[in-house]
């Protein structure tokens, strides 16, 4: 057994539902929440819905007391359907259409991230109803996925923007940053916390309404094929740096990957095989236009295995579309596989099906959910 399913159970699920499948286990989500809570005591989490926007994940996170980081009207619609309390949500997209702002306010989410003056002006008509978080940029060479090129003001610009907000009568609740996703170490988190502390102290010294929140973003890593520090080791320096901020500041984070990546596996089947260039090529019924899209967009390399033993040789795993980019692995050691054999991708919960396409009009993988949360007795929240 590897991951959360035995090989026998994997075969049963494939026989019962067909392939391709993505199997999601909600108990693993709960375990991940607990682990991150233990590693970051005192930090409130807002699950980054974009990582895997699935109803059972929304309900599980809600039952665990986790809030939601929303970045589009579609994500708002999803959490609205499950009666999520809008007070437990924040809107984190730094660039919004006016329509996005209105949708968010109609839902009841009133905390918004901004990173420039033009964006701040969009909130002028709603100044009495919103609290802003100013996103500060901290480029991080140790993050696999860069999130600082497109968003965030420099720490030096922050003071100017805070001044501008004050002149406009806008309420800036605090600062936010995201040092990039799948970070190899927490050095940049620590640097960002220290720099934000200086900005908060400078501003709050003379502010009528002091800033009271720091959002430390995401970036908490998981192990794919590369080895990352375990979450306790990764978070210890962050916890230490947060200790210096004092107790009055509300610290929040927007984890995505760490909460959902280990909670799903992909089950695909070999649909064809060929010998090309001295290698066995195996054609699977899912690929980089589907659940393996994270290999393109998220720069991830998932641990892949088959359920067979035997002498291994260098092989190629290709997806089902007509495009040559649709290759999952050019260099993988596999025993001889036959049509119908199963190939398993582990750690496939984050940024996988959420970026899948319908290219070639191929159906997306079916999602099977294990240990679904009980349907909670929820009543709609009136904004």
Ligand X SMILES: Cc1ncc(COP(=O)(O)O)c(C=O)c1O
Which of 3, 86, 155, 219 binds ligand X (CB under 6 A)? It is: 219
- Of 25, 56, 69, 103, the one binding ligand X (CB under 6 A) is 69
Binding flag, residue 218, ligand X (CB under 6 A):
yes
In the complex with ligand X, the residue whose CB is nearer, 144 or 172, is: 144
147 belongs to the binding site for ligand X (CB under 6 A): yes
- Residue 20: is the preceding peptide bond cis (ω within 30°)? yes
Q: Taking the complex as a whole, how short is the minimal distance between the CB of residue 137 and ligand X, in angstroms?
A: 12
Do the Cβ atoms of 319 and 289 come closer than 8 Å?
yes
**DSSP assignment string, 66-110:** -EEEE-SHHHHHHHHHTT--GGGEEE--SS--HHHHHHHHHHT--
Q: Judged by CB under 6 A, which stretch of 60-68, 252-260, 327-335, 337-345 contacts ligand X?
A: 252-260
Q: Rounded to whole angstroms, what are the CA distances from 160 to 93, 156, 264?
A: 21, 8, 44
How big is the site for ligand X, counted in residues (CB under 6 A)? Answer: 16
Residue window 103-142: x/- pattern of binding to ligand X, with contact defined by CB under 6 A? ----------------------------------------
Of the residues 26, 196, 225, 322, only one is catalytic, namely 322
Contact call for residue 174 and ligand X (CB under 6 A):
no
Instruction: Decide if residue 92 touches ligand X (CB under 6 A).
Output: yes
DSSP helix/strand/coil, 63: helix
DSSP string covering 159-211, please? HHHHHHHHHHT--EEEEE----EEESSSHHHHHHHHHHHHHHHHHHHH-SS--
- If one asks whether residue 294 binds ligand X (CB under 6 A), the answer comes out as no
Give the shortest CB-218-to-ligand X separation in angstroms.
2
Contacts of 86 (CB under 8 A, 6+ apart): 107, 108, 109, 110, 381, 383
- Kindly indicate which of the ranges 35-43, 160-168, 254-262, 299-307 contains the residues binding ligand X, using the contact rule CB under 6 A: 254-262
d(CA 72, CA 57) in angstroms, rounded, equals 17
Q: How many CB atoms lie within 10 A of CB 81?
A: 11
Per CB under 6 A, the list member of 220, 234, 282, 292 interacting with ligand X is: 220
Catalytic, 365? Answer no
Contact of 138 with 152, CB cutoff 8 Å? yes
Does 214 bind ligand X (CB under 6 A)? Our answer is no
| Residue 256 in contact with ligand X, rule: CB under 6 A | yes
Which among 24-32, 97-105, 185-193, 211-219 is the span making contact with ligand X, rule CB under 6 A?
A: 211-219
Measured between alpha carbons, how far is residue 328 from residues 76, 280, 293, 331, 342 in Å?
33, 14, 9, 9, 14
Q: Which residue is nearest to ligand X (CB)?
A: 218
Please identify which residue in 48, 61, 130, 288 interacts with ligand X, judged by CB under 6 A.
Answer: 48
255 binds ligand X (CB under 6 A): yes
Nearer to ligand X, 20 or 219 (CB): 219
Buried b (16+ CB within 10 A) or exposed e, 190-229: bbbbebbbebbeebeeeeeebbebbbbbbbbbbebeeebe
Q: Which of 33, 49, 51, 58 binds ligand X (CB under 6 A)?
A: 51
Of the residues 91, 96, 178, 189, which one makes contact with ligand X according to CB under 6 A: 178
Residue (255 or 373) nearer to ligand X, CB: 255
Q: How far is the CB of 308 from ligand X (least distance, A)?
A: 33
How many residues comprise the chain? 383
What's phi and psi for 30, nearest 5 deg? -65, -40
Stretches 73-81, 251-259, 265-273, 318-326: which one binds ligand X (CB under 6 A)?
A: 251-259
At its nearest, how many Å lie between ligand X and the CB of residue 256? 3
Cβ partners under 8 Å of residue 173, min gap 6: 111, 131, 132, 133, 211, 212, 213
The set of catalytic residues is: 322
Residues that bind ligand X in the complex, under the rule CB under 6 A = 48, 51, 69, 92, 147, 178, 181, 217-220, 254-258
């Amino acid at each position: 057994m590897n991951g959360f399913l035995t090989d026998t159970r994997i075969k049963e699920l494939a026989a019962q539902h067909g392939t391709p499948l993505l199997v999601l286990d909600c108990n693993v989500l709960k375990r991940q929440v607990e682990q991150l809570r233990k590693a970051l005591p005192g930090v409130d989490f807002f699950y980054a819905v974009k990582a895997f926007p699935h109803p059972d994940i929304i309900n599980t996170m809600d039952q665990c007391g986790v809030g939601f980081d929303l970045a589009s009207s579609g994500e708002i619609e999803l959490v609205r359907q499950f009666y999520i309390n809008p007070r437990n949500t924040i809107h984190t997209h730094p660039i919004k259409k006016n329509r996005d702002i209105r949708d968010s306010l109609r839902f009841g989410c009133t905390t918004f991230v901004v990173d420039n003056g033009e964006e701040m002006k969009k909130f002028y008509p709603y100044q009495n109803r919103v609290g802003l978080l100013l996103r500060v940029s901290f480029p991080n060479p140790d993050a696999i996925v860069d999130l600082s090129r497109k968003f965030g003001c420099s720490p030096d610009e922050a003071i100017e923007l805070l001044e501008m907000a004050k002149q406009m009568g806008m309420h800036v609740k605090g600062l936010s940053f995201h040092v990039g996703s799948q970070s190899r170490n927490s050095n940049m988190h620590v640097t960002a916390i220290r720099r934000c502390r200086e900005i908060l102290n400078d501003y709050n010294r003379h502010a009528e309404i002091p800033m009271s929140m720091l959002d430390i973003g995401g970036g908490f890593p998981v192990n794919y094929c590369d080895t990352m520090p375990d979450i306790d080791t990764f978070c210890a320096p962050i916890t230490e740096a947060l200790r210096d901020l004092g107790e009055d500041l509300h610290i929040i984070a927007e984890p995505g990957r760490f909460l959902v990546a280990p909670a799903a596996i992909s089950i695909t089947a070999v649909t064809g095989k060929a010998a090309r260039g001295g290698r066995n090529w195996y054609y699977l019924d899912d690929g980089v236009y589907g659940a393996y899209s994270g290999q393109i967009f998220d720069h991830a390399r998932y641990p892949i295995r088959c359920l067979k033993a035997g002498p291994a040789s260098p092989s190629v795993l290709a997806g089902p579309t007509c495009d040559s980019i649709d290759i999952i692995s050019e260099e993988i050691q596999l025993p001889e596989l036959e049509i119908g054999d199963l190939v398993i991708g582990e750690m496939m919960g984050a940024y996988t099906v959420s970026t899948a396409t319908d290219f070639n009009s191929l159906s997306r993988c079916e999602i099977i959910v294990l240990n679904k949360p009980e349907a909670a007795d929820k009543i709609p929240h009136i904004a």
